[in-house]
Structure 1
Amino acid sequence: MKLPPQTPSRAADDLVPLINVVFLLLIFFLLAGTLMPAPAAPVRYIEGAGEAAPQIPADAVYVDRAGVIYLKGGPASPEALTARLAEARGKAGPLPLVLDRALAMETVQPVLARLSEAGITRVEIVTLRGSAR
Protein backbone atom coordinates (compact mmCIF):
# COMPACT_ATOMS: atom_id res chain seq x y z
CA MET A 1 0.00 0.00 0.00
CA LYS A 2 1.36 3.33 -1.02
CA LEU A 3 0.82 6.24 1.42
CA PRO A 4 0.45 9.78 0.17
CA PRO A 5 3.49 12.02 0.80
CA GLN A 6 3.29 13.99 4.01
CA THR A 7 3.23 17.75 3.72
CA PRO A 8 5.47 19.63 6.14
CA SER A 9 3.76 21.26 9.09
CA ARG A 10 3.24 25.01 8.79
CA ALA A 11 2.83 25.55 12.52
CA ALA A 12 6.32 27.02 12.84
CA ASP A 13 5.67 29.44 9.96
CA ASP A 14 2.49 30.68 11.64
CA LEU A 15 4.41 31.74 14.78
CA VAL A 16 6.82 34.07 12.99
CA PRO A 17 4.32 36.96 12.51
CA LEU A 18 3.21 36.62 16.13
CA ILE A 19 6.80 36.81 17.36
CA ASN A 20 7.41 39.86 15.16
CA VAL A 21 4.36 41.67 16.57
CA VAL A 22 5.32 40.90 20.17
CA PHE A 23 8.88 42.08 19.55
CA LEU A 24 7.65 45.34 17.97
CA LEU A 25 5.28 45.95 20.90
CA LEU A 26 8.13 45.38 23.33
CA ILE A 27 10.29 47.92 21.52
CA PHE A 28 7.40 50.41 21.36
CA PHE A 29 6.71 50.24 25.10
CA LEU A 30 10.40 50.49 25.97
CA LEU A 31 10.77 53.63 23.88
CA ALA A 32 7.42 55.26 24.60
CA GLY A 33 7.17 54.49 28.30
CA THR A 34 8.16 57.18 30.74
CA LEU A 35 10.63 55.93 33.26
CA MET A 36 11.78 57.93 36.23
CA PRO A 37 15.48 58.63 35.85
CA ALA A 38 17.89 57.36 38.45
CA PRO A 39 18.54 60.00 41.08
CA ALA A 40 21.73 61.97 40.77
CA ALA A 41 22.42 61.52 44.48
CA PRO A 42 21.72 58.91 47.18
CA VAL A 43 18.42 60.50 48.20
CA ARG A 44 15.28 58.90 49.64
CA TYR A 45 12.46 61.04 48.31
CA ILE A 46 9.95 62.83 50.49
CA GLU A 47 6.48 61.37 50.01
CA GLY A 48 3.71 63.84 49.36
CA ALA A 49 0.25 64.10 47.89
CA GLY A 50 0.03 64.55 44.15
CA GLU A 51 -1.78 63.43 41.06
CA ALA A 52 1.16 62.64 38.79
CA ALA A 53 4.63 61.22 39.14
CA PRO A 54 7.24 63.98 39.31
CA GLN A 55 9.28 64.91 36.28
CA ILE A 56 12.68 65.55 37.82
CA PRO A 57 14.89 67.60 35.52
CA ALA A 58 18.47 66.51 34.99
CA ASP A 59 19.74 69.81 36.39
CA ALA A 60 17.93 69.57 39.74
CA VAL A 61 19.76 70.36 42.97
CA TYR A 62 19.93 67.38 45.36
CA VAL A 63 20.67 67.46 49.10
CA ASP A 64 21.33 64.11 50.80
CA ARG A 65 20.79 63.20 54.44
CA ALA A 66 24.24 64.50 55.46
CA GLY A 67 23.60 67.88 53.84
CA VAL A 68 25.93 67.30 50.87
CA ILE A 69 24.71 69.18 47.79
CA TYR A 70 24.76 67.35 44.44
CA LEU A 71 24.63 68.86 40.96
CA LYS A 72 24.56 66.85 37.73
CA GLY A 73 25.43 63.55 39.37
CA GLY A 74 28.24 64.55 41.71
CA PRO A 75 28.94 66.54 44.84
CA ALA A 76 29.05 70.27 44.19
CA SER A 77 31.48 72.81 45.47
CA PRO A 78 30.13 76.21 46.56
CA GLU A 79 31.48 77.69 43.30
CA ALA A 80 29.60 75.14 41.17
CA LEU A 81 26.45 75.76 43.18
CA THR A 82 26.80 79.51 42.68
CA ALA A 83 27.25 79.00 38.92
CA ARG A 84 24.19 76.72 38.80
CA LEU A 85 22.17 79.27 40.74
CA ALA A 86 23.21 82.05 38.38
CA GLU A 87 22.10 79.85 35.47
CA ALA A 88 18.79 79.06 37.19
CA ARG A 89 18.12 82.72 37.89
CA GLY A 90 17.76 83.31 34.14
CA LYS A 91 15.09 80.62 33.78
CA ALA A 92 11.42 81.43 34.18
CA GLY A 93 10.46 78.38 36.28
CA PRO A 94 11.30 77.53 39.87
CA LEU A 95 14.55 75.81 40.83
CA PRO A 96 13.86 72.08 41.43
CA LEU A 97 15.20 70.98 44.82
CA VAL A 98 15.24 67.30 45.86
CA LEU A 99 15.69 66.77 49.59
CA ASP A 100 16.29 63.54 51.48
CA ARG A 101 13.39 62.63 53.74
CA ALA A 102 15.75 62.19 56.74
CA LEU A 103 17.29 65.64 56.27
CA ALA A 104 16.95 67.89 59.31
CA MET A 105 15.56 71.39 58.84
CA GLU A 106 18.70 72.82 60.43
CA THR A 107 20.59 71.48 57.40
CA VAL A 108 18.05 72.79 54.88
CA GLN A 109 18.07 76.36 56.21
CA PRO A 110 21.66 77.20 55.09
CA VAL A 111 20.93 75.79 51.63
CA LEU A 112 17.80 77.93 51.34
CA ALA A 113 19.74 80.96 52.62
CA ARG A 114 22.38 80.42 49.91
CA LEU A 115 19.59 80.20 47.31
CA SER A 116 18.12 83.44 48.58
CA GLU A 117 21.51 85.19 48.53
CA ALA A 118 21.98 84.10 44.91
CA GLY A 119 18.70 85.75 43.95
CA ILE A 120 16.58 82.62 43.62
CA THR A 121 13.05 83.58 44.58
CA ARG A 122 11.19 80.42 43.52
CA VAL A 123 12.10 76.91 44.70
CA GLU A 124 10.13 73.75 43.97
CA ILE A 125 10.66 70.87 46.41
CA VAL A 126 10.24 67.62 44.48
CA THR A 127 8.30 64.84 46.22
CA LEU A 128 6.89 61.45 45.24
CA ARG A 129 3.28 60.46 45.48
CA GLY A 130 2.41 58.70 48.72
CA SER A 131 1.58 55.47 46.87
CA ALA A 132 4.89 55.38 44.94
CA ARG A 133 7.80 53.52 46.53
Structure 2
Amino acid sequence: MTDLVPPPSASGKSLMERVEDALLPLINLVFLLLMFFIVAGQLADDPLPELPATSASTEQQPPHADILVNAQGTWRVDSKTVDAQSLLQQLPEPDTQSPLKIAAASSISMADLETLLRTLEQGGYEDILLLTEPET
Protein backbone atom coordinates (compact mmCIF):
# COMPACT_ATOMS: atom_id res chain seq x y z
CA MET A 1 0.00 0.00 0.00
CA THR A 2 1.32 3.46 -0.84
CA ASP A 3 1.36 6.40 1.51
CA LEU A 4 -0.62 9.50 0.63
CA VAL A 5 2.17 11.72 1.94
CA PRO A 6 5.60 10.57 0.69
CA PRO A 7 8.34 10.17 3.25
CA PRO A 8 10.61 13.22 3.71
CA SER A 9 13.73 11.48 2.39
CA ALA A 10 12.20 10.86 -1.06
CA SER A 11 10.84 14.33 -1.82
CA GLY A 12 13.13 16.77 -0.04
CA LYS A 13 10.12 18.91 0.98
CA SER A 14 8.99 19.88 4.44
CA LEU A 15 5.98 18.21 6.05
CA MET A 16 3.70 21.23 5.41
CA GLU A 17 4.64 21.32 1.71
CA ARG A 18 3.94 17.60 1.37
CA VAL A 19 0.49 17.95 3.07
CA GLU A 20 -0.39 20.87 0.78
CA ASP A 21 0.61 18.81 -2.26
CA ALA A 22 -1.57 15.93 -1.07
CA LEU A 23 -4.60 18.22 -0.54
CA LEU A 24 -4.47 19.82 -3.99
CA PRO A 25 -6.36 16.98 -5.80
CA LEU A 26 -9.06 17.06 -3.10
CA ILE A 27 -9.49 20.81 -3.50
CA ASN A 28 -9.75 20.39 -7.28
CA LEU A 29 -12.38 17.69 -6.88
CA VAL A 30 -14.49 19.78 -4.51
CA PHE A 31 -14.25 22.75 -6.88
CA LEU A 32 -15.38 20.61 -9.86
CA LEU A 33 -18.31 19.20 -7.87
CA LEU A 34 -19.33 22.70 -6.85
CA MET A 35 -19.24 23.86 -10.47
CA PHE A 36 -21.26 20.82 -11.56
CA PHE A 37 -24.05 21.51 -9.08
CA ILE A 38 -24.12 25.20 -9.95
CA VAL A 39 -24.53 24.40 -13.65
CA ALA A 40 -26.83 21.39 -13.23
CA GLY A 41 -29.16 22.95 -10.68
CA GLN A 42 -31.88 24.91 -12.40
CA LEU A 43 -34.43 27.21 -10.85
CA ALA A 44 -37.88 27.48 -12.40
CA ASP A 45 -38.41 30.78 -14.19
CA ASP A 46 -42.19 30.56 -13.99
CA PRO A 47 -43.57 31.01 -10.49
CA LEU A 48 -46.57 28.95 -9.46
CA PRO A 49 -49.90 30.63 -10.18
CA GLU A 50 -51.61 32.26 -7.23
CA LEU A 51 -54.41 30.18 -5.77
CA PRO A 52 -57.64 31.84 -4.61
CA ALA A 53 -57.11 30.92 -0.95
CA THR A 54 -53.73 32.67 -0.89
CA SER A 55 -54.76 35.87 -2.65
CA ALA A 56 -55.72 39.02 -0.78
CA SER A 57 -58.95 39.48 -2.74
CA THR A 58 -62.20 38.33 -1.17
CA GLU A 59 -63.87 37.16 -4.36
CA GLN A 60 -63.68 33.43 -5.01
CA GLN A 61 -62.51 32.62 -8.50
CA PRO A 62 -60.91 29.38 -9.62
CA PRO A 63 -57.26 29.50 -10.68
CA HIS A 64 -56.48 29.53 -14.39
CA ALA A 65 -56.26 25.86 -15.22
CA ASP A 66 -56.89 23.62 -18.20
CA ILE A 67 -58.93 21.13 -16.14
CA LEU A 68 -61.04 21.78 -13.05
CA VAL A 69 -61.84 18.78 -10.83
CA ASN A 70 -64.46 19.18 -8.11
CA ALA A 71 -64.86 17.13 -4.92
CA GLN A 72 -67.23 14.67 -6.64
CA GLY A 73 -64.55 13.88 -9.24
CA THR A 74 -66.24 15.47 -12.28
CA TRP A 75 -63.94 17.09 -14.82
CA ARG A 76 -64.60 20.50 -16.38
CA VAL A 77 -62.80 21.97 -19.38
CA ASP A 78 -63.80 25.51 -20.47
CA SER A 79 -66.83 25.38 -18.12
CA LYS A 80 -68.10 22.17 -19.77
CA THR A 81 -68.33 18.85 -17.98
CA VAL A 82 -66.40 16.18 -19.86
CA ASP A 83 -65.90 12.44 -19.47
CA ALA A 84 -62.85 10.25 -20.14
CA GLN A 85 -63.74 9.73 -23.81
CA SER A 86 -64.11 13.42 -24.71
CA LEU A 87 -61.44 14.83 -22.37
CA LEU A 88 -58.50 14.53 -24.76
CA GLN A 89 -60.41 16.20 -27.62
CA GLN A 90 -61.23 19.23 -25.42
CA LEU A 91 -57.67 19.82 -24.22
CA PRO A 92 -54.86 21.58 -26.10
CA GLU A 93 -52.14 19.42 -27.65
CA PRO A 94 -49.36 18.27 -25.28
CA ASP A 95 -46.65 20.95 -25.11
CA THR A 96 -43.19 20.54 -23.62
CA GLN A 97 -42.87 24.29 -22.94
CA SER A 98 -45.93 24.72 -20.69
CA PRO A 99 -47.34 21.99 -18.44
CA LEU A 100 -51.02 21.09 -18.33
CA LYS A 101 -52.61 22.68 -15.24
CA ILE A 102 -55.15 20.78 -13.16
CA ALA A 103 -57.05 22.62 -10.41
CA ALA A 104 -58.34 19.96 -8.03
CA ALA A 105 -60.53 20.30 -4.97
CA SER A 106 -58.69 19.46 -1.76
CA SER A 107 -61.19 16.72 -0.91
CA ILE A 108 -60.87 14.79 -4.19
CA SER A 109 -60.26 11.09 -3.74
CA MET A 110 -56.96 9.60 -4.82
CA ALA A 111 -58.78 7.09 -7.05
CA ASP A 112 -60.46 9.92 -9.03
CA LEU A 113 -57.15 11.73 -9.39
CA GLU A 114 -55.37 8.56 -10.50
CA THR A 115 -58.04 7.93 -13.17
CA LEU A 116 -57.56 11.45 -14.53
CA LEU A 117 -53.76 11.19 -14.54
CA ARG A 118 -53.84 7.81 -16.32
CA THR A 119 -56.17 9.24 -18.98
CA LEU A 120 -53.82 12.20 -19.49
CA GLU A 121 -50.80 9.91 -19.65
CA GLN A 122 -52.46 7.88 -22.41
CA GLY A 123 -53.08 11.16 -24.26
CA GLY A 124 -49.36 11.98 -24.26
CA TYR A 125 -49.24 14.57 -21.47
CA GLU A 126 -45.96 14.30 -19.56
CA ASP A 127 -45.72 17.62 -17.69
CA ILE A 128 -48.66 18.25 -15.37
CA LEU A 129 -48.98 20.91 -12.69
CA LEU A 130 -51.46 20.03 -9.95
CA LEU A 131 -53.02 23.05 -8.21
CA THR A 132 -54.84 22.63 -4.92
CA GLU A 133 -56.08 24.94 -2.20
CA PRO A 134 -54.76 24.58 1.32
CA GLU A 135 -57.24 23.56 3.98
CA THR A 136 -58.19 26.47 6.22
TM-score, length of structure 1 as denominator length? 0.50
Q: Tell which structure's C-alpha radius of gyration is larger.
A: 2
Q: TM-score normalized by structure 2?
A: 0.49
